[in-house]
Amino acid sequence: MQTDVDPRNLIGRKAFDRNGTKIGTIDEVYLDDATGVPEWAAIRTGLFSRDAFVPLEPSELVDGTLRIPFERSLIKDAPDFGVGRHLSPEQELQLYHHYGLDVTAPQTPDVSFGRIAGAEEDPT
C-alpha cells in the first residue's frame, strides 16, 4: 500500500476482497511502534460482527476503497485479538502466518503495534 497515505484517512473507508466482494469498513489502523508505518487494519465485517485484521502491505487503496488481495472467507477467519489495544509480536506473527505472508520473527520482544483509533475519536 502507499506509505504516504495518512492512516487516519483510512478510517471509515470500505474494504473489498480480491473478488470485489465487500468485507466491511475500516475501524482502526495499527502502526508499527518502531517505524510508525501502517501495518494492519481492523475491518468491521458487519453490524454485529467482530473486526478482522488485514495486512496493509499487499493491499491497495483504489478509488477511495481498500482492496485486499485475499478471499473474504480467509479474512473473516483471521485470528481474533480484539481491537483497541496493541498487537504483540506473537499476535502479529500469527496474522502473517494466517495470510501466508513471509515474515521473520521480530528481533526485539518489546516491539508492538499501536493503533490509530476509529473515526469517532479526534486525534487533536
pLDDT in the model for residue 106: 46
The per-residue DSSP string of 6-75 comes to: -GGGGTT-EEE-TTS-EEEEEEEEEEETTT--EEEEEEE-STTSPEEEEESTT-EEETTEEE-SS-HHHH
- Residue 45's pLDDT is 87
Q: What is the mean pLDDT of each run of 10 residues along the chain (124 residues)?
A: 71 96 94 87 84 92 94 93 86 94 56 52 41
How far apart (Å, rounded) are the C-alpha atoms in residues 62 and 12? 14
What is the structure's pLDDT at 123?
Answer: 40
Give the 3-state secondary structure of residue 94: helix
Our measurement of the distance from residue 115's CA atom to the centroid of its chain's CA atoms, rounded to an integer in Å, reads: 10
Residue for cell digits 494492519? 40
- pTM of the predicted model as reported, rounded to 2 decimal places: 0.78
Instruction: Give the burial class of 55: count Cβ atoms within 10 A of its Cβ; 0-12 exposed, 13-18 middle, 19 or more buried.
Output: buried
The grid coordinates of residue 70 equal 485475499
Rounded distance between C-alpha atoms, residue 22 and residue 2, angstroms: 21
pLDDT at 54: 95
CA distance 93 to 85: 16
CA 94, distance to chain mean position in Å, is: 13
Q: In this predicted structure, what is the pLDDT of residue 50? A: 82
In this prediction, residue 120 carries a pLDDT of: 47
